[in-house]
Amino acid sequence: MALVGLRVGEDASPACVQNLPGAEVRVAALQARLQAALQAKGSAYRPRTRHLNADGTPAYTNRLILEDSPYLLQHAHNPVDWYPWGEEAFTRARQEHKPILLSVGYSTCHWCHVMEEESFEDDEIAAYINEHYIAIKVDRERRPDIDAVYMGAVQAIAGSGGWPMTVWLTPDRRPFYGGTYFPPRDGDRGVRIGFLTLLARLQDIYRQQPDRVAAAAADTVARLGRDRTVAPADQIPSAAVLRAAFTHLRAGFDAANGGFGGAPKFPRPVQLELLLRYHRRTGDADALEMVQRTLAAMASGGVYDQVGGGFHRYATDVGWLVPHFEKMLYDNALLAVAYLEAYQATGRPELARIAREILTYIQRDMTAPGGAFYSASDADSDGVEGKFFVWTPAEIDAVLSPEAARLAIAYYAVTAPGSFDGANILHTPRPLALVTQDLGIDPAEADRLLASARAGLYAARKQRVAPHTDEKILVAWNGLMISAFARAARALGDDTYLQSASRAAQFILTRMIHDGRLQRSFFAGRASGSGYLDDYAFLVAALLDLYEATSDSTWLTSARALQDVLDQHFWDERGGYFLTADDDEALLVREKPAYDGAEPAGNSVAALNLLRFYELTGDERYRTRADQAFRAFSAAVTTDPTSAPRLLAALDFRLDRPKQIVIVTPGDISDAAPFLAVLAARFVPNRTVTVVQDGPARDELAKTVPLVAEKIAQGGKTTAYVCEQRVCALPTTDPETFARQIERTAPLNW
């Protein structure tokens, strides 16, 4: 039966409820469940809808009130008869011979909010959907498997994809039409055919031309299947594919603004990681210049939050000025690492500063009470995109001293006309030294004034209505951020970062594993959903980073246990890992991701994890499996070398002579600090690091990491062993000698 509205505190009998437009009265049992779920929200609950009763309670409530996804809960009071993904919806579609309207998005997606407000909150459009369709809402961050399958379908149908994603399905889940955001009516936003008209036309076609619908659905599913039948290569790719990727990146580089291609500009840190590795192996100056130019341009642009730290999702213009203002955990994790690696490669302190500011933002604003990290913050606040982040000159004058305001207005390029709807997106197009010179401010005083200005602006901004924070905890994204904190702890010598990484990892290992298997998400006090490839791969990488940062072998043990689950349930005998486990829900196709976009593909991260395990343990099975993955994706990276930069970074590791670094201390492992400081100051990505205390601790670790066996602290001094292919250079107690050993780089062999 269809859904109806609920009024909090009222009797649940049909006479006292308000129907959803175009829907029938639902059965009493479901009605009671929704009533109870709504009442359980408590008196402080503020329904996210414009359809409110006089007392502020929601006029409508649908099945999504029963879900634990922040995105689905945002839509729980739409007049649309939403179902979550599940057999209940598909059974009803079959019984009533109706097509399915599938809507996929996420809780901090600006255009998802726009389509909700324009269409899903519209009574007329909702009534048409409720009468003619079965409507399903999916959170792409909770169900990346569903998102991946139907994004592939939309790209096949429309030529491009994005969110919100809107797909028309047959009751057997086969897509026959799709797109992204649709304006509500003909003529809106300049479109000829609006969403309501499209709904009607596709409903007519579905009813009157079933053969045409069946043919379109069959063609789309066939195209999805064909994309997944490429045979593995006989050999792993050669270094030539690394050179081809560099050539492609150089051709697409925006020398004027940094980054690659035109507007909109998306951060894609995996490209920068690859360029840094290419520069290390070849010495090519262009590779390093592209990285430095891009990172500098992003940090000075409006895409960076100049007051609070952290990066917004992307810029709408080529110059990184005007962002979509949402902030994603994964972007900031990957960008923190990119700035750290560039700092190690160049020694430029401004790069380390940005990394620190990103991590400070995460610690301050995005850390849950248990230590794990929230997923994202919204673009909108108080119903307006970007309102929280922008400033007028008068607003700055009102909260800062005259001297600090004068500097802030000049340095952040604040003008009366503004750069965004009459206000200003703070950015720094000119170096501080030039600005202070023009203003006649002493450089030392300028640093103090600027720090005061940032603190004052941040404090004033805290009084505004803040954007919504998506407080669900995703294993995969936490894995990326744990890696960032663990690596920053060593690169920047700050143990508070290590504490953040360790707390988050411990939260996941104790609260988000059930029967040895990872759960995807944690929200409102409970973990739920099956873990996917990305959850396992990203967390394994994080645990390896924590092992290297702490010298605590329990992290390595946990990493190997999770890798065993990944190998058992996700491995494809043709090479590589599937996105889903072998006992997960079967969809139209079983995805095996290999594209490194805003996030790296799980296969790319897993390939490097396998190589790191091999270097640590000497177990040849790990490297064999990594090679199988490289062969499986060889055709893809050869055809499109820039499609998988993180996979190519793993290939660079495989084609290198990775350094196996063992540091043995006579007493506490803190004695290794001089050697670790040398390592922190250098960009040595293709290596493993083990620090161990001489004696019984070393002998115990040797059961897992055989290379440490019989290595001693010579003469009672901390001793470093730098090995390649398990052949070690002369051990040294001198950090300077150690520096020379780790700086030796094997060139790429074309």
d(CA 172, CA 91): 9
- Ordered by start, the domain boundaries in the chain are 14-226, 389-463, 659-743
At 23 the pLDDT is 84
- For the segment 376-398, what is each residue's pLDDT rounded down to a tens digit? 999 999 889 999 999 999 999 99
Give the pLDDT of residue 359.
98
Q: CA distances (Å), 285 to each of 268, 297, 338, 651, in order?
A: 20, 18, 18, 21
- Strand 82-84 with 134-139, pairing: parallel
Say which range, 28-42, 68-82, 284-298, 317-331, has the weakest mean pLDDT. Answer: 28-42
pLDDT digits (tens, 9 = 90+) for 445-498: 999 999 999 999 999 999 999 999 999 999 999 999 999 999 999 999 999 999
HSE-up of residue 149 (Cα within 13 Å, Cβ side): 22
| Residue 504 to residue 535: CA distance in whole angstroms | 14
pLDDT attached to residue 27: 81
pLDDT tier at 12, thresholds 50, 70, 90: very low
Mean pLDDT, range 40-53, rounded to an integer: 93
Find residue 468's DSSP bridge partners: none
Structure tokens given for 125: 């459009």
Classify domain 14-226 at the CATH topology level: Glutaredoxin (3.40.30)
The predicted pLDDT at position 24 comes to: 77
SS3 sequence, 619-687? Answer: CHHHHHHHHHHHHHCHHHHHHCHHHCHHHHHHHHHHHCCCEEEEEEECCCHHHHHHHHHHHHCCCCCCE
pLDDT tens by residue, 97-148:
999 999 999 999 999 999 999 999 999 999 999 999 999 999 999 999 999 9
pLDDT at 18: 62
pLDDT surpassing 80 at residue 628: yes
Q: Which of 649, 663, 542 is nearest to 604 (CA)?
A: 649
| Confidence class for position 3, pLDDT limits 50, 70, 90 | very low
Confidence class for position 16, pLDDT limits 50, 70, 90: very low
Cα(399)–Cα(75) distance, integer angstroms: 37
Indicate whether 668 pLDDT > 70.
yes
pLDDT score of 11 more than 70: no
Interval 295-311 mean pLDDT = 98
Average pLDDT (710-731) is 96
Task: List, in sequence order, every beta strand (DSSP E) within 115-209.
Answer: 134-139, 165-169, 175-179
Over residues 566-590, the pLDDT tens digits come to 999 999 999 999 999 999 999 999 9
Residue 557 token pair? 């043990």
Q: pLDDT per residue over 646-667, tens digit each?
A: 999 999 999 999 999 999 999 9
Query: What is the per-residue pLDDT for 8?
Result: 32
Crossing angle, helix 533-550 and helix 495-511, to 10 degrees?
140
**Structure tokens given for 581:** 């486990």
Query: Domain 659-743, CATH 3.30.1360 — does that match?
Result: no
What is the structure's pLDDT at 17?
41
Residue 601 reports pLDDT greater than 60:
yes
Q: By the 8 A CB rule, do 137 and 64 touch?
A: yes
pLDDT at res. 276: 98
Given this chain, do its domains 14-226 and 659-743 carry the same CATH topology?
yes
Q: What is the pLDDT of residue 28?
A: 84
pLDDT of amino acid 383: 87
Q: What is the mean pLDDT of the chain?
A: 95
What is the model's pTM? 0.95
Q: Is the pLDDT of residue 282 over 70?
A: yes
Instruction: Name 188's Cβ contacts closer than 8 Å, sequence gap at least 6.
Output: 118, 194
Residue 227: per-residue pLDDT: 62
- Cα angle 367, 370, 375 (rounded to 5 degrees) comes to 40
Q: What share of residues in the chain are helix, strand, coil (percent, to 5)?
A: 50, 15, 35
The region, left, alpha or beta by phi > 0 then psi within -120 to 50, assigned to residue 722 is beta
